[in-house]
Structure 1
């Protein structure tokens, strides 16, 4: 059973939400809550059905205890306003992040018209057992300066290492690391934002690569960018000049927290990746017009972007145009596929594994997880899938292409096994990260690795057949 992070919240809504009008007396709201066995009631606007506030059992106990309060006042006067809501299409990770960031117990879910669709609680979002993160979330949110943030990041790193040593499953570990790392990045952005007078235009911090896919391991550098809204080229240049010092400060804070600066300079503090929405659109269009697969090789990291802070609507607008253009560009998809098929999993015809002659090792990132990542990305672009994580992309693509449930599960298990092996190898001192000698594994691990690489080969065979390569 996989705890996928990118599916919509629809599947987590367990019951019809209890909605009430603002003028209803608290006494009557409580009666309806008891009848419906509901822990909360959502107050909605009479004409639109859009959520205005929420009343929970806990709210009533706390507020009715005040001498001035009465059960006969309208619920509008006792509810908690300023509802934090997400669309039903939002991903589970996004919901968990919002809960943690705002220290909430439940989230309101709305439909495409902003009307109440349901309520999900912390228990719904964490139905699959997870490593405890509450104390670390509290430490991150309590950080008021750089020193506090660095200390919180150190504790996250130590706990993550301990969980890997304890054999925590890779999928859960990935979600846990992604949640805490996202909160660290958001905290760094909050600290930096307080130091600068930022332009009053919509902007959004983007995560690329493994962070965009929610697949960070213990050793990961920064891959990020910034997108903002500008009316034209001159305004974009002016706004970039104001955003860059802020972005560079965030990059510096993250470096101090243990996320090394990207060696290739793919960071928001680099003018090349601090761009307006139109400039980002031009970049993607340029990559998709590229004359050869080689031109695309270094651009693939950008196709896994995810909004991390700021106005996510900018990232959504960029993604909508990208997915539409990709689906209509078979030559671009063919070049992407050529790149993905340049090297196959290191399986031998005579020996089980093909290893480096000098070291006797094979590369778990390049030859193990990357075939899954590359194939999933291509299917997402071709089929218009908004998911960014590899497992979620494979599941969504498999369902659309009518792969069997067993095959989808086998691909997901294979990817997660190799990811787990990468995490464990990163804890072995004196060994290059992501490398393993098959002789160092026990018999069962070798068998699992061999079968996982076979699954990668089958996935590549599917791609080869689809694009007739």
Structure 2
């Protein structure tokens, strides 16, 4: 290699090391890439690559300037089908990997330079470099992983004393498990608990598979107070079907399971479902300064709203710790929702006592983001009631009693940091405190006559789940909804058209289209112009395919599988949605309180290069799913 060639290769390496994924590429692979690159000049408005050029011969890396990618074909619509790329960005990954023509036309929108790598060298590089292979096959997932790593560094000082909630449960087991068989005499089992200083006794079958558990808190209510005969077997007093998790599950998974079900011990098993050990709340508590045990215990023991206010603040702090540990957005929003559910349920329980409604049969419904398990740290209330009218009771008087109860719950939630809904979407609104028949009638009118108001209502109220009370009432309503919406093609067509009214904020020349709102210039509303695009599409897909989940991610996964979408495509779409959710969480937790102005906004110019790149890719995924709706419903 001549001295001049070495200088050129060195300059190429220096450039590549400033951009992902090349900054993480193995040294040998990076040297190979740099030595095979050729730099080409493309004057303004010239075509670099198009479908008419046939099978792609080169992989391109933008070195300087701007390149516009534009979809071609009869289905192309300008608002949805173009984007710009800057230095360090690559194309066309999908076409060259599949050895086919490009589906896009790439044009230099200003004088630009691009590195070119021959297709055969691209294949060799894929084989040489696991980093590059992952980048090409899991493009957005790879970028998201890098972003989480950067985020951990950003938060590391604030969470310096934190260990990781991503630790596998198998690594948290501190001792051999203490267990007995179902026919063990209860007295002997209790004596063994005392001798071994353990807080629970696990009951296993002959194959060492857990079949039950007896905890210290069970002993008082099941053994001491009922004067249980200690000579009888432990199988008669144990809790059956204990909560079990595999050793590969994370501490976060265990924390979410405990928060959701209100349990304090999880049994850890191997791949054959044999007992390996027990993980307790105390084990998880040692991983975090503000822990699950504190928050859950504070919620369960709260006798007044002041105690629940502290629990609400602790939930926000715990979320910060989890962000610092690199927990993903889907898990974070589930965790926040699970703890907020527990807090809301405790508020409802306290209000039931005050209003003497212990015998009432009702379902407290969560709508919107809470109904989808997607609460961020800035959200107001969206809730309602389904109730059963007792026989021989006047409906007006009974409903007024329920409304008074609901109003006290709404007000207590507001005190705990969940603002009253400005649109009055709350259970204390008489229009949202209805019997099952009344809810069916309300939903049915929106489906039969999908005017703009009906479509808006559907986008809010069709994302529901039971938060407290009778699951049966909500599931009967859901079953009715899926049956009626799925067969009404006019309604689904109108829903799809409504979902396409907001395009992804991608510019044809600039990377992003930002708002011109004088209060928030140069920003993007990640809720209205980001997350909503995925949420609206997922709702339509779930109604069309009969998916009962209210979660956006689960709707996309299940509906996409039913519709035959590829696993890679689904993963990219879901990763795009999750990254937008993560940006919302980061902004809210660092800068705002609940429902603060601008709490869902981001200024793309203030993002680092990696996050800007991932955000652009996330909006591309939103555009892809909107294009599917456009084609499916001929819009």
User: The TM-score by the shorter chain falls in which range?
Assistant: 0.7 to 0.9
TM-score norm. by structure 2 comes to 0.59
The higher radius of gyration belongs to 2
Cα distance in 2, alignment partners of residues 249 and 32 from structure 1? 44
Contact preservation (8 Å) 1:41, 1:55: no
Contact preservation (8 Å) 1:99, 1:106: no
Tell me the residue number matched to 1:319: 478
Q: 1:419 aligns with which of 581, 585, 596?
A: 581
Q: 1:247 aligns with which of 393, 398, 406?
A: 406
Task: Indicate whether 1:103 and 2:269 are aligned.
Answer: no
Cα distance in 1, alignment partners of residues 228 and 401 from structure 2? 49
Q: 1:266 aligns with which of 425, 430, 439?
A: 425
Tell me the residue number matched to 1:48: none
Task: Indicate whether 1:435 and 2:606 are aligned.
Answer: no
Q: Deviations over 1:147-186 (max 9, x none)?
A: 1111221222333345446654312211111111101100
Contact preservation (8 Å) 1:25, 1:71: no
Tell me the residue number matched to 1:447: 613
Cα distance in 1, alignment partners of residues 630 and 185 from structure 2? 63
Contact preservation (8 Å) 1:293, 1:336: no
Q: 2:211 aligns with which of 34, 41, 55?
A: 41
**What secondary structure, in the 3-state scheme, does the structure 2 residue paired with 1:36 have?**
coil
1:131-170 pair list within 5 angstroms: 132-161=291-320, 163-164=322-323, 168-170=327-329
Tell me the residue number matched to 1:177: 336
Cα 1:345–1:26 change in 2 (3 A) is same
The Cα of 1:383 is off from its aligned counterpart by 1.0
The Cα of 1:252 is off from its aligned counterpart by 0.7
**What secondary structure, in the 3-state scheme, does the structure 2 residue paired with 1:204 have?**
strand
The Cα of 1:71 is off from its aligned counterpart by 7.9
Which runs of no fewer than 5 residues in structure 2 stay unpaired?
A: 1-140, 145-180, 190-200, 244-251, 268-274
The Cα of 1:103 is off from its aligned counterpart by 3.1
Contact preservation (8 Å) 1:143, 1:152: no
**What secondary structure, in the 3-state scheme, does the structure 1 residue paired with 2:355 have?**
coil
The Cα of 1:35 is off from its aligned counterpart by 2.2
Tell me the residue number matched to 2:55: none
Q: Deviations over 1:14-40 (max 9, x none)?
A: xxxxxx99xx675999999352112x4
**What secondary structure, in the 3-state scheme, does the structure 2 residue paired with 1:304 have?**
coil
The Cα of 1:398 is off from its aligned counterpart by 1.2
Tell me the residue number matched to 2:9: none
Contact preservation (8 Å) 2:352, 2:358: no
Contact preservation (8 Å) 1:236, 1:276: no
TM-score norm. by structure 1 comes to 0.78
**What secondary structure, in the 3-state scheme, does the structure 1 residue paired with 2:356 have?**
coil
**What secondary structure, in the 3-state scheme, does the structure 2 residue paired with 1:320 have?**
helix
**What secondary structure, in the 3-state scheme, does the structure 1 residue paired with 2:211 have?**
strand
**What secondary structure, in the 3-state scheme, does the structure 1 residue paired with 2:206 have?**
helix
The Cα of 1:328 is off from its aligned counterpart by 1.2
Task: Indicate whether 1:373 and 2:535 are aligned.
Answer: yes
Contact preservation (8 Å) 1:203, 1:314: yes
Which runs of no fewer than 5 residues in structure 1 stay unpaired?
A: 3-19, 43-53, 86-91, 108-118
Cα 1:273–1:84 change in 2 (3 A) is farther
Cα distance in 2, alignment partners of residues 298 and 171 from structure 1? 25
Tell me the residue number matched to 1:405: 567
Cα 1:232–1:456 change in 2 (3 A) is farther
Tell me the residue number matched to 2:454: 295
The Cα of 1:361 is off from its aligned counterpart by 1.4
* Residues paired across the two proteins, number: 418
